Amino acid sequence: MVDDDARVGRKSKSQSFYGYKTEFVMTTEERIITSVRTADGSYMDGNYAKEMLEETKGAGIKLEEVFGDKAYFRKSILDVIEEIKATPYVPVSSLVYRIVESKYTYNKDADEWQCDQGNNTVNKKYFSTNTKSGQFQGYRYYFELNQCKACPLHDECTGKSARKIMKVGKNTTEFYEISQFQKSEEFKEKYKKRASIEGKNAELKRFHGLSRAKGYGLLSVSKQSKLAVIAVNLKRIAALIS
């Protein structure tokens, strides 16, 4: 029998699976699951972030901090977290932020980039281009021409151009600020709280059968996920009140 709702998903670049994904929101202190969604295997983590965080708020929980892994480092999700006035603790993803910070630093007040040779950008221009994955929007930052020409790394850095032109996505400067915060001790200490979700994920899979679908179709697997969540929540509530 073929499951028409299931899809191929990827756990890593070399590991794939055929089936479904279950995503949930959990409180870090009490470890109670407040929202759960099930989708086919091709689902992109975080697409239900807005709905799930709203459900969590609807349960009377005050959201001050939101934790997630690199898969949740997307502008749309960060905006949702900002809307509810919470602080995001989500590591920068290299898929959306590709600045080599050992070579370039950003000055937010001046809106300038500086290279490791001390040259600053003096101008920027907006651009938009079509790619296979859709439209890419960003800015071209132009470094000071004469300083580029005199730089000992000119040929290596610029190639055939007279000066270095730095092309970045439209959200890169915002992501840079986030990446600087993530180097702080505050972020590193706070992010330790996220580890609690891995234990809950293992509990759902090992002791409540969520590692394998017991039926066919999205509706069936969604019911299975919700029943498993109810079970682990009841166990956790019993442990807390005892």
Task: Identify whether 177 is part of a domain.
Answer: no
Q: Name the phi and psi angles at 67, rounded to 5.
A: -110, 145
- Identify the residue whose tokens are 């929980």: 61
pTM: 0.87
State whether 207 and 165 are in the same domain. no
Tens of pLDDT, residues 49-70: 999 999 999 999 999 999 999 9
SS3 for 56?
A: helix
Tens of pLDDT, residues 146-195: 999 999 999 999 988 999 999 999 999 999 999 999 999 999 999 999 99
> Strand 112-115 relative to strand 104-107: parallel, antiparallel, unpaired?
antiparallel
Number of domains in the chain: 2
DSSP secondary structure of 173-222: HHHHHHHHHTTSHHHHHHHGGGGHHHHHHHHHHHHS-TTS-SSSSHHHHH
State whether 131 and 197 are in the same domain. no
Give the range of the structural domain holding residue 127, as residue numbers without chain letter: 104-172
Domain CATH for 68: 3.30.420.10
Task: Identify whether 39 is part of a domain.
Answer: yes
Task: Identify whether 109 is part of a domain.
Answer: yes
Q: Among the three residues 172, 200, 222, which one is the final residue of a domain in this structure?
A: 172
State whether 72 and 118 are in the same domain. no
Task: Identify whether 98 is part of a domain.
Answer: no
- Tokens coding 17: 């699976």
Residue 81: CB partners within 8 Å, gap ≥ 6?
53, 66, 87, 88
